[in-house]
Structure 1
Amino acid sequence: MEWVNIPMLNANEDEVEVVEVPVEEGQEVERGQVLCTLESTKATADVEAPCEGFVRALGVREGQRAKVGQPLCALTATAEEPVHLSSAQTAAGAQAEGDLPRATRRAAALASEYEVDLRTIPHEGILTERDILAHLGQGQGALRAPRDQASQARADMEVGGGGDAIVIYGAGGHARVVIDMVREGRRDLRIIGIIDDAPDRPAELLGVPVLGDASMFAGLRERGVRLAALGVGAVTHNALRAELFSRLKREGFLMPNLIHPRAAVESSAQMGQGNQIFAGAVVSSCVRLGDNTIINSNVVVSHDCVIDDHAHLTPGALLAGGVQVGPRSVVGMGATIFLGVRVGADVIVGNGSHILQDLDDQQVVRAGER
């Protein structure tokens, strides 16, 4: 059985309108078949079946408003297979019906784990993890208190299947940023754990358990986990980022685009998969991003720029209109690139550089050069 949840279409909206539901309860569907069409103020999207199966527990109808993260339906192998909601899904469904205060997915799951009635917690706006922990009299570090890390990891993996589960590859500083970006900007996703290949990897990161090394990928996929995010920045070694991204694709994972809610991305911008756009970044009209790019904090990517696969624009880089950045290239902090300049593949542009003419493949511009 695999659960399909209502996805987020716009980082600033936690509700969408259900425009069309072309399936019905008990109907057999194929992988890729449209289950429903959703609309936000900025986008319209079809939700497709991630696998073949029978539509069960269909929880939406045409014309209604649906909460991001609430169950859309389950897909079962047979028409008679029992269907059970997890505690987090039950909480999300209750929120959708208006029985409980609005809460983030992680807050709802935490409240369920501690048997906390959300209606007893004083709050303004949407309840967060911090609200639940404050109610319990615990700090952020106590997030996993009821269970040890190994037990929690096993529990998370047991319920890890479904469209909302995501695993992070890498357990360093960049992974911390990715965790926060998912928690703040993708409330429809649930981080079930971290994979890291270093022998001295930590036991947890910001309350998320480190499950083990890449040998666990196959087991996660078997449990229905199909989403992953790359938590490796490797600013001086973009070829490594490209290699790890390819590894995730070979393992069968999909990499969603992660956009911080305080980033500004125009609706005409186009992007592949696995891109990460940090807080304060501006991605302007008709920009095209490839796969696995990093648009770091306070970067400005002006109109009609093309940023190729695995490129990394580091904090504060400024790109004028029509700039092209080749695959695996790095643009350093505070660097500026003039209108229409082409930067080749595997180029390193040093911090504070001012680029006024095209750069050849593998060229290195030292910090501060013009």
Structure 2
Amino acid sequence: MYKNYLKRLFDFTVALFGLLLLSPLFILVTIGLFFATQGKPFFFQTRPGKNEKLFRIVKFKTMNEKKDSEGNLLSDAERLTTIGRFVRKTSLDEIPQLLNVLKGDMSLIGPRPLLVQYLPLYNAVQKKRHDVRPGITGWAQVNGRNAISWEQKFAYDVWYVEHCSLLLDLKILLKTIQKVVQSEGINANQGVTMEPFRGNSNLLVFGAGGHAKVVVDCIEVEGKHSIKAVLDDAEVSQFIGGYDVDLRNKNSDYVSFDAIVAIGNPLHREGLVQQLKTNFIMTIHPSAVVSNHAELGVGCQVFATAVINAGAKIGNHCIVNTGAIVEHDCELEDYVHVAPNATLGGNVKVGAKTHIGIGASIKQNVVIGKSVIVGAGAVVLDDLPDNCTAVGVPAKIIKFH
């Protein structure tokens, strides 16, 4: 009731009263910053709000626009004006956002609205911070603000979304006033403002064999994720227990991490995926060619110089290994492994947990069943049933398993 209806009334009433009460201070700060920032006392920027809808946030501008001899902006510390330092220390720079609250773009209490470019960097859990209107202050702000890591901030944000109530909002409001008076957590440990969010640093790679080395290399070259640890899959149960105790934020109901299962064997990969039940990422090597009209499932791994053409549909946790080619309109079910330099002709269908060996070739329109092993260098000209092993040129079934 409060979250869906009364919260908006609470926001509007308090914001209107606050703006009227603070109007003399608002005018004084505007005049001071007008002279300190060459006639530009306000800072406007596009930010994502509820359901990632974009809006223009307004704040007092605390930094000037001074540049070096090469035309680049100076550091934040060098551009922070004297009055701007005071405005930031006392959190007066947030006052204009009361206008955003009156418009309905923001709430008084909620996750802070961050930069638009961060949107694709959030994992599935972190995206929940956009299920509510962003706030001028929030649970993360009264628990450390800029002095805590991005991961800790997002954990606090998601916790707030799931526990939003009038009592919690009043608690955050009172703690915010206390923090402002004490000037706690205004600056990060390094520099004047928080370091940019560059993606999650809690990616865990499960698997410690040769395939895992290739996956790690692909992730590092791709540069979208920062690896926290590489773990032998035999130690998963032990690790999850340690993770729950040591790394989970005490105020969060989540054991949140990104993962990728770096195990070549389809059966072992499937077993571990089902055990983890977390947020899985995919990795695509920059030298791979993946059509914009191809579909890839979660947890997929596409390695160097591999090609996936238009219309291809790749299931979850599939591997398209180095130099492999998956032609147009192919369909691969979950946990398929296409080994290095293997080629699948157009419109090939491959069942779940099938392994296509190194350098194997599959003729167009062929249908391969589930849990099939196609030997290295084999040339498959005819359909293959489930649970068989086929080798040779042309490929022949040598056994069922």
User: Shorter-chain-normalised TM-score: which range?
Assistant: 0.5 to 0.7
1:176-209 deviation line (CA, Å, top 9, x unaligned):
1111111110x2321111222447xxxxxxxxxx
Is contact 1:57–1:83 with CA below 8 Å preserved after alignment? no
Determine whether 1:21 maps to 2:54: yes
Of 238, 258, 264 in structure 2, the residue corresponding to residue 227 of structure 1 is 258
- 1:178 match: 215
Is contact 1:36–1:46 with CA below 8 Å preserved after alignment? no
Of 221, 224, 232 in structure 2, the residue corresponding to residue 196 of structure 1 is 232
Of 269, 272, 280 in structure 2, the residue corresponding to residue 241 of structure 1 is 269
Of 352, 357, 365 in structure 1, the residue corresponding to residue 382 of structure 2 is 357
The AA in structure 1 aligned to 2:337 is: H
Q: Secondary structure at the match of 1:193?
A: strand
Is contact 1:23–1:35 with CA below 8 Å preserved after alignment? no
Is contact 1:196–1:213 with CA below 8 Å preserved after alignment? no
- 2:203 match: 166
Q: 1:286 to 1:193 in 2, by over 3 A?
A: same
- 2:242 match: 216
Distance (Å, rounded) in 2 between the aligned partners of 1:232 and 1:164:
21
Is contact 1:232–1:241 with CA below 8 Å preserved after alignment? yes
> If you compute each CA radius of gyration, which structure gives the higher value, 1 or 2?
2
The AA in structure 1 aligned to 2:260 is: A
- 1:297 match: 322
The CA deviation at 1:213 is: 3.8
Q: 1:303 to 1:38 in 2, by over 3 A?
A: farther
Q: 1:181 to 1:56 in 2, by over 3 A?
A: farther
The AA in structure 2 aligned to 1:264 is: V
- 1:119 match: none
- 2:300 match: 275
Distance (Å, rounded) in 1 between the aligned partners of 2:195 and 2:246:
24
In the TM superposition, 1:19-168 aligns within 5 A as 21-22=54-55, 27=107, 49-52=126-129, 55=134, 76=157, 77=160, 78=172, 80=176, 82=185, 85=188, 93=196, 163-168=200-205
Q: 1:306 to 1:89 in 2, by over 3 A?
A: farther
Q: 1:54 to 1:323 in 2, by over 3 A?
A: same
The CA deviation at 1:83 is: 7.2
- 1:309 match: 334
The CA deviation at 1:357 is: 1.2
Moved more, 18-27 or 220-229: 18-27
Q: 1:45 to 1:227 in 2, by over 3 A?
A: closer
1:97-155 deviation line (CA, Å, top 9, x unaligned):
xxxxxxxx7xxxxxxxxxxxxxxxxxxxxxxxxxxxxxxxxxxxxxxxxxxxxxxxxxx
Q: 1:321 to 1:198 in 2, by over 3 A?
A: same
Q: 1:23 to 1:213 in 2, by over 3 A?
A: farther
Of 254, 262, 280 in structure 1, the residue corresponding to residue 279 of structure 2 is 254
Is contact 2:380–2:393 with CA below 8 Å preserved after alignment? no
| TM-score (ref. length: structure 1) | 0.58
Of 352, 355, 365 in structure 2, the residue corresponding to residue 327 of structure 1 is 352
The CA deviation at 1:163 is: 3.8
Between Structure 1 and Structure 2, the one with more strand by share is: 1
Between Structure 1 and Structure 2, the one with more helix by share is: 2
Q: Secondary structure at the match of 1:229?
A: strand
Amino-acid identity (%)? 27
Determine whether 1:288 maps to 2:304: no
The AA in structure 1 aligned to 2:345 is: A
TM-align CA RMSD: 4.1
Q: Secondary structure at the match of 1:222?
A: coil
Q: Secondary structure at the match of 2:276?
A: helix
The AA in structure 1 aligned to 2:204 is: V
Distance (Å, rounded) in 1 between the aligned partners of 2:194 and 2:287:
27
The AA in structure 1 aligned to 2:248 is: E
Q: 1:84 to 1:284 in 2, by over 3 A?
A: farther
- For structure 2, the 5+ residue unaligned runs are 1-45, 58-96, 98-105, 138-149, 161-171, 180-184, 250-254, 396-401
- 2:366 match: 341
The AA in structure 2 aligned to 1:21 is: L
Q: 1:286 to 1:35 in 2, by over 3 A?
A: farther
The AA in structure 2 aligned to 1:50 is: K
Q: 1:180 to 1:18 in 2, by over 3 A?
A: farther
The CA deviation at 1:226 is: 2.1
Distance (Å, rounded) in 1 between the aligned partners of 2:135 and 2:202:
19
Higher RCO by CA contacts (8 Å cutoff, separation 6 or greater): 1
1:239-277 deviation line (CA, Å, top 9, x unaligned):
11111111121xxx2111110011000101111100000
- 2:38 match: none
Distance (Å, rounded) in 1 between the aligned partners of 2:386 and 2:186:
55
Q: 1:90 to 1:293 in 2, by over 3 A?
A: farther
The CA deviation at 1:285 is: 0.3
User: What is the number of equivalent residue pairs in this alignment?
Assistant: 254
